[in-house]
Amino acid sequence: MENLECSIADGKKNITIHPQRMAVYLQSKIVEAVDNNRNVYYLFFFKNEFLAALKAASIRRRSYLEKAFKHGMMFPSTHPFCRTILSSETPFQKRSFNQLHGKLQKQYTPHQTAYILTFFDAFIPKKKLFKDIQTYFYQYRRNGQLFAGYRILWVLLDFTPNHSWVKQTVNDLEYAKFKTMYKEMAVELWEKDPIHMEKALYFKRKKNPEKAEALIDFLINENRWIDAAALLMNQLIRTSGIEKYNRLKQVLETYYPKQDLLVVLEDLYQRSPSLEPLQKDLLHYYLTFQQLNHSISIINEHGFSLNEEQWTAFENMLETVSLDSGNTQVEKLNTYIASLFKTQPDKAEIILQKCVKQLMERHDLSYISKWLIPIKEISSRSLVVKRIEQMKQLSDDPDKQQQLGELYYQFDMLDQAIECFSWEMELDKSDPLPVRWLSKIYLEAGKEEESKAYQQLFRNMQKKANA
């Protein structure tokens, strides 16, 4: 996939940025990007909604930003998840803290605003953030909204757990009934304080699978499928399971076309290569999209036995794909060609011819002879096999270079054929046959001047012979 390029609006100017990676952490997504001068920017999102773009020289220790990139799920900028998030808005607005705070107050509830403010402790002094959040608590308290105020206290408790005022206030007797509700993680908190419930379950998910399932259900119901998928991927990395994998695939198939789905599965495979259903799905997509090298790699890596439909797809790919680019992993194909000789020897011979030609570009005849061993065991009558064995015998015999040149020509290896016929011509200057071959091969190689020269030499030799 092509690298992404976005822009940040900074006053009247736009800054081009190149996203590098994205962290999915709690209710945020944070994209790290660099501009053309290697300045680093962070794009903050609450759930899927863009908040602000901030420039940073470094990441402050123990900040929310550091935790996000240390404990969150990381995805490269080429990942479909990152591309989905970055497609939401462009250019992205660079905002001062006052501008950001004003936006939050207009767009979000006080509770959401208080929580979102904790994202920015890498950029804003923690004391200032604390006081701004504390202001919401006092507003609720003055209005007699005890539970609303208690929710703010829990934001502060997570933000500054050792702050004496927070620890004392959260334990006041007037909040006793709320404290029990939070301690027991009462079901009604899903409705009354979803921010706290989501955060609490996020940190309990590793020890309590039921909590993880409840959190995933909540995220899907909120249409936060990237968060749900990232959480499922995180679970699969730690403990493989067919049910988790099927649920992840169901989520992905709902929102992504197959090409993007393949990219997501490849990313998961890099993190969890031992997941068998994932391996099989990747093979399916590689065959579907005719990605020969990837098909070869995963078949070899996991020793897959192909079913009839897969064999047909693989064979058709081998038969139609161009091997001339030199990018195909021909070295790994010998066992599959050998198997094909059992059922379709004619097709196998065509594919073998193409593969051997490609191998000649990169290997000597001894290597190719060894590579052919599985095929020899199945079909010693193969014309390609016979030619290679004959070439191997002739390669060290200076008196047989013309025969060797003809065999190289059969594999369309024109440079090697020219070398052989040139050697033969030097050995016997009276023999016109190597000269005739050289004229023919140079013409096929597109070297008309050389071809004409050897053609004239051939005519002169004929005239001399007939004189």
Q: Give the domain CATH number at 451.
A: 1.25.40
pLDDT in tens, 112-134: 999 999 999 999 999 999 999 99
Asked if pLDDT for residue 452 goes beyond 70, the answer is yes
The per-residue pLDDT for range 128-182, each reduced to its tens digit, is 999 999 999 999 999 999 999 999 999 999 999 999 999 999 999 898 889 989 9
Domain count along the chain: 2
Task: Please tell me which residue, 351 or 417, carries the higher pLDDT value.
Answer: 417
CA neighbor of 80 nearest in space, from 249, 269, 259, 280: 259
Q: d(Cα 173, Cα 121) in Å, to the nearest integer?
A: 31
pLDDT over 70 (residue 325): no
Task: Tell me what pLDDT residue 405 has.
Answer: 93
Containing structural domain, residue 427: 411-466
Q: Is residue 78 part of a domain?
A: yes
pLDDT value at position 39?
93
For residue 327, tell me if it sits in a domain. no
Residue 296's pLDDT is: 87
pLDDT tens readout for residues 424-437: 998 888 889 999 99
Q: How many CB atoms lie within 10 A of CB 428?
A: 12
pLDDT-based confidence at residue 442 (cuts at 50, 70, 90): very high
Q: What's the mean pLDDT in 242-251?
A: 92
Tell whether the model's pLDDT for residue 43 goes beyond 80: yes
Q: Is residue 21 part of a domain?
A: yes
Q: What is the mean pLDDT of the chain?
A: 90
| Pair of tokens at residue 246 | 């099927």
Q: Is 48 in contact with 88 (CB distance < 8 Å)? A: yes
In this structure, is residue 384 part of a structural domain? no
> Is 391 domain-assigned?
no
Q: Which residues contact 426 (CB under 8 A, 6 or more apart)?
A: none
Spatial CB neighbours of 249, under 8 Å, sequence gap ≥ 6: 281
Q: Of 124, 149, 184, which residue is a domain's last?
A: 124
Q: pLDDT at position 209, please?
A: 79
d(CA 375, CA 338): 4
pLDDT band at 384 (very low <50, low <70, confident <90, very high): very high
Q: Which residues, other chains included, contact 17 with Cβ-Cβ below 8 Å and sequence gap of 6+?
A: 5, 6, 7, 8, 33, 34, 35, 41
Asked if pLDDT for residue 465 goes beyond 80, the answer is: no
Determine how β-strand 6-10 pairs with β-strand 13-25.
antiparallel
Whether 428 is covered by a domain: the verdict is yes
Whether residue 71 lies inside any domain: the answer is: yes
For residue 322, pLDDT over 70 is answered with no
Confidence of residue 354 (pLDDT cuts 50, 70, 90): confident
Last residue of a domain, one of 108, 124, 140: 124
Percent of the chain whose pLDDT exceeds 70: 97
Domain boundary among 89, 105, 124: 124
Is the pLDDT confidence value at 320 over 90?
Answer: no
Residue 307 belongs to a domain: no
Confidence of residue 335 (pLDDT cuts 50, 70, 90): confident
Would the pLDDT of 327 be above 70? no
